[in-house]
Amino acid sequence: MAEEEKKEYWRWLESRWTSPDIDWKKGKVISAGVDVGSVSTQAVIMVDGQLYAFANMRTGSDSPNSAQNAFNRALEDTNGLTEKDVHYCVGTGYGRVNVPMAQKAITEIACHARGANFMYGPTVRTVLDMGGQDCKAIRIDEKGKVESFLMNDKCAAGTGRGMEVFSDLLTISINDVGQMSMEVEEEPEPVSSTCVIFAKTEATGLLRAGWPKNKVLAAYCRAMAGRVNELLQRVGVVKDFAITGGIAKNIGVVSRVEKLLDMKALPPKYDTQLAGAVGAALFAKGLYEKIKK
Amino acid sequence: MFTQFKDWYQNRHDYAKDWKARTGGKVMAYMCTYVPEEILYAADVLPVRVYGSHEASDLTEQHIFGMYCPFCRDCVAQVMEGRYDYADGVMIAQACLHMRQVYSSWEIHKPTEFMYYMPFPIAVESPHARPHLVAEYKTFIEAVEKWTGKKITIDDLDRGIEILNKNRELMRKVYELRLLDNPPLTGVECMHMTSSSQMVDKREHNQALEKLLKELPSRKTDRETGIRLMIVGSECDDIEFMDMVESLNSTFVADDHCTGSRAFWNSVEPEEDRLLAIAKRYLERPPCPTKDTTKNFVRFHHVMEMAKEAKVEGAVIIQQKFCDPHEIDIPLLRKRFEDNGIRTYFLELDVTVPIGQFKIRIEAFLEMLRADELPF
């Protein structure tokens, strides 16, 4: 029991990756995007606008360090690529102005829009970014330009942080909560979506009342879906629809959002958490080309 | 150049106390810009509009329900903190129920020697509104005369009208400079000017405005105008918010709110019946949403004209949380802006301003407006 209490169920796996198909030395423009979010930090390196390497790490208490750590991690196993070889870097996310290697900061709204356009294709018109501490509903054009957007406010209910709280409460790994929430015979009523703490209190009561964990999770996933659906309806949902951010990996929330919208989200081809950093790296490429003209 | 206005705004209570000591006159703390200040000036009373402080307070909850707007809750806090204890009188002209609750709390918990609730027609365009308001003014004048012991004469009313009209005319001249390609003032500076006009003796304010207008047209600022914005909403003296927005390469070049242009835009047109002249001014001013009851939305037309004249590129629509009159207007107003090719962003304000949360939204909005600068 004591061992179970020490375990960090919320902790998701950090990752890194390098494309085996790209030789950066043959590239004309090497650009980078660093997205320092409230929960996770991603560093993406692109060669001529193609995804070459990335790192996805937990954000620490210090934004510059988090950015540097993720950037250094992305540079590992890249056949000698160093920071000096990167022509231009754009910082984005919550800590965008504290990215030491960035020449420019651009908001995560613009970067997620651009990143979603790259990751899901030019047909995407509505992007839902479900991040660590906020959600954004973004309408974009065929180039990935923002047409309108809305962000949640008031509380982290309906965000990744909220899901982490539930993961810890129910002692279920964050990687499994989505799937587990699907294992219910009948969809329960959602818990409160006004406040994470209210939702947690309500869930504690449901557990005491004998609800199984998967049913409680289903109730929370349903609440999250309802909350982001409100945001989406306010911005107006137009096909194609795509989800970015960490929660996009949670089938329990994604499937319920799709059900409420009566619309399928495009299947991801990349790690959904990368969208902001990918968009930043694409802007970095364009900005570098602009100054070189 | 705007230091005096900023100083008045920041030290409004010190100013009012000093004014009392200097003049021996009475101070009327008032709520809502439908209060006929002309009559108060005629009575040699200093009208001081009640503002909040944008500081969190634990004094309001017991007096006012949580779903009242942050501005009125903030105003109640100021009263309970004793910051308006120098006021000899308190009055309101009816506009919204939220502010009326402030008045009621004041009357119950900290009554002054003169408490006055002035009914004000809602349907300002109704043919019955003018005689109604003139009758209210007569009753009000009687009450003020009894309170001050001073008879208000026609000459007094003319003096009051002249002081107010002069203030309006001078501020309109400053607003004309906002229309320039490179306005010589920021939205924050303008806000200090308009807000302070509601706090200090307008004769002193007029002198400061005359001095300002001599220097302002030739002022060279060291900042770029950037994106031309309009700010629209209810009460809005959220200096910190406006300052943040203007630090992001943008300038507020127009506004429609009751701590700005809406309060002073039109003047009293002279006519034989002074009270009718004053009544017409308040009934025909750019309306507060509580008064804009026509199907065509008089205010919307006025706002669009202002936006076009100021070559506004984007509109920031801010609303005091739970402000029902504005909540009704905003969807239609946003549509009107968008139909005129002006993009909008909507934000809801609380007593304290969450600058960090708002900054990301405003930055993204400005990026959207200058999307051509980003490479696609």
**Nearest CB to A287; choose among B363, B367, B375:** B375
Interface residues from chain B to A (CB-CB < 8 Å): 343, 348, 354, 357, 360-361, 363-364, 367-368, 371, 374-376
Tell me, yes or no, whether A98 and A8 share the same domain. yes
Which CATH number belongs to the domain containing residue A106 in this structure? 3.30.420.40
* Alpha carbon of B67: minimum distance to chain A alpha carbons (Å): 15
Same domain, A136 and A215: yes
Best mutation target among A88, A96, A148, A290 (most B Cβ atoms within 10 Å) is A148
Same domain, A67 and A157: no
For B26-48, write each residue's pLDDT tens digit: 999 999 999 999 999 999 999 99
Contact B34, B94 (CB under 8 A): yes
Position A6 scores a pLDDT of: 62
Contact B375 A147 (CB under 8 A): no
Residues of chain A with pLDDT under 50: 1-2
Buried b (16+ CB within 10 A) or exposed e, A6-30: eeebbebeeebbbbeebebeebebb
Do A238 and A139 share a structural domain? Answer: yes
Contact B360 A108 (CB under 8 A): yes
SS3 of chain B: CCHHHHHHHHCHHHHHHHHHHHHCCEEEEEECCCCCHHHHHHCCEEEEECCCCCCCCCCCCCCCCCCCCHHHHHHHHHHHHCCCCCCCEEEEECCCHHHHHHHHHHHHHCCCCEEEEECCCCCCCCCCHHHHHHHHHHHHHHHHHHHHCCCCCHHHHHHHHHHHHHHHHHHHHHHHHHCCCCCCCCHHHHHHHHHHHCCCCHHHHHHHHHHHHHHHHHCCCCCCCCEEEEEEECCCCCHHHHHHHHCCCEEEEEEECCCCHHHHCCCCCCCCCHHHHHHHHHHHCCCCCCCCCCCCCHHHHHHHHHHHHCCCCEEEEEEECCCHHHHHHHHHHHHHHHHCCCEEEEEEECCCCCHHHHHHHHHHHHHHHCHHHCCC
Furthest-apart CA atoms within chain A: distance in Å: 67
Q: Å from B360 to nearest chain A CA?
A: 7
Letter for the amino acid at A113?
A
In the stretch 135-174 of chain A, residues with CB closer than 8 A to chain B read 143-149, 151, 153
Q: What is the pLDDT of residue A5?
A: 53
Q: A188 with A112, same domain?
A: no
Q: What is the pLDDT of residues B258-308, one digit of tens each?
A: 999 999 999 999 999 999 999 999 999 999 999 987 777 889 999 999 999
Continuous segment of H or E residues that includes residue A165: helix A160-170
**Residue A1 pLDDT:** 47
Which helix (H) or strand (E) segment holds residue A105: the answer is strand A104-105
pLDDT digits (tens, 9 = 90+) for B120-132: 999 999 999 999 9
Shared domain for A91 and A140, answered yes or no, is: no
In whole angstroms, give the CA distance from residue B67 to residue B320: 11
Q: Strands A40-47, A50-58: parallel, antiparallel or unpaired by DSSP?
A: antiparallel
Identify which of A246-250, B7-11, B371-375 has the greatest average pLDDT.
Answer: B7-11
Residue pLDDT, tens place only, B83-126? 999 999 999 999 999 999 999 999 999 999 999 999 999 999 99
What average pLDDT is seen over chain B?
A: 95
Would the CB atoms of B368 and A143 count as touching at under 8 Å? no
B155-165 pLDDT tens trace = 999 999 999 99
Whether B368 sits inside 8 A of A108 (CB atoms) is no
CA dihedral A171, A175, A176, A182 (to 10 degrees): 130
Instruction: Give A57-89 as a 3 state SS string.
Output: EECCCCHHHHHHHHHHHHHCCCCCCCHHHCCEE
Q: Residue A55 sits in which domain range? A: 2-116+274-292
Given an 8 Å threshold on Cβ–Cβ distance, is A146 in contact with B364?
yes
CA atoms within 13 A on the CB side of B103: 24
Radius of gyration of chain B (CA): 20
CA atoms within 13 A on the CB side of B77: 22
Q: How many domains does chain A have?
A: 2
| pLDDT over threshold 90, residue B199 | yes
Cβ within 8 Å, pair A107-B376: no
**Are residues A135 and A72 part of one domain?**
no
- Which of A110, A114, A285 lies nearest to residue B364, judging by beta carbons? A110
Is A107 found in the same domain as A129? no
pLDDT at A290: 94
Contact A107 B375 (CB under 8 A): no
Query: What token pair was written down for B70?
Result: 């942050």
First-to-final CA distance of chain B? 42
Residues A12 and A90 both lie in one domain: yes
Considering the domain architecture, whether residues A222 and A190 belong to the same structural domain is answered as yes
State whether A129 and A260 are in the same domain.
yes
Instruction: Provide the number of CB pairs (under 8 Å) joining chain A to chain B.
Output: 45
What would the two tokens of residue B240 be? 């910190």
Verify whether the Cβ–Cβ distance B360 to A151 is below 8 Å: yes
Residues above pLDDT 90, as percent of chain B = 85
For residues A179 and A100, state if they share a domain. no
Phi, psi angles (nearest 5°) of residue B47: -80, 130
